[in-house]
Amino acid sequence: MSAAEPNPKRIEGKVIGAALRARIGEAVADLKDAHAKVPGLAVVQVGEDPASQVYVRNKGIATKEAGMVSLEFKMSGDTSQEVLLEKVRELNADPDVNAILVQFPVPSQISQQAVIDTIHPDKDVDGLNPLNAGRLVSGLEALTPCTPLGSVILATETLGDLTGKHAVVIGRSNLVGKPVAQLLLKQNCTVTMAHSRSQDLPAICRSADILVAAVGIPEMVKGDWVKPGACVIDVGINRIDAPERGEGKTRLVGDVAFAEAQENAAHITPVPGGVGPMTIACLLKNTLTAFCRQNGFDEPKL
């Protein structure tokens, strides 16, 4: 297959994410017409981390494109934990702010968990507050972390009904592994949670109809770990050296050895361009959900 030809196996997150963002924009416009109100997302960044600056800028652009209000608060790298938490409490109390996201990582003098605990669960669009995590496990309505939500949307858009499929999740983080397993259970999958210390991990992976790799190790999942016909969702984003591109150059790869894995997989997400674009789309989705729940509006079917 030449580089110019589309790969029918690739799950194009850019395309699916763009379509979701368009539907969210339409829903926001309808709510504005009906209620003269739109969702407001507040993003707080502490320090000058270059990657965080790019993420915050992209989130702001996407928020405005969807017709929402984007509020950005930039705080210096020496900001104390109490000053940041006071800003979060102020945003919790602001009725025009429906969603709060503190960009991680935060500087070392600030506890990430303290920030997570302080964000009001109803405005917690990262879905990390323990109350939201507990509600998800209990099968109740909850705001869910954006990357797991996007990963499961990609699987359902690709496969349709997931009922009865065996899903293997590699990774047990609070941000991806645990919530994606809960979301797949909600879709009636049989779920196996594995990780880097699981015994005979390749054999576990080969049993998967849906394989979600979220372990943070570049190209750990090899082609012969993938069951023929499986759907592979690669959540990993790893930057590795790329001397073939020139001295000091790097490239992005996932947790799956893409070229090998696509030989067996029926469907596979590329890195970049797979799960990544879904994360911002699902941030907007969560912001819209939070806005509707706070105001007692019917949640649009997206």
Catalytic residues: 59, 103, 126
CA distance 228 to 215: 22
Structure tokens at 284: 């907007």
CA distance 98 to 289: 9
- 244 DSSP 8-state letter: G
Phi/psi zone of residue 111: left (φ > 0), alpha (ψ -120 to 50 degrees), beta?
Answer: beta
Contact 171, 214 (CB under 8 A): yes
Q: Following CA atoms 108, 109, 110, 111 in sequence, which dihedral angle do they give, to the nearest 10 degrees?
A: 70
CA distance 128 to 116: 6
CA distance 62 to 30: 18
| Residues recorded for the chain | 302
Other Cβ atoms within 10 Å of 119 Cβ, number? 24
Other Cβ atoms within 10 Å of 34 Cβ, number? 10
- 250 DSSP 8-state letter: E
CA distance 31 to 120: 23
CA distance 16 to 263: 23
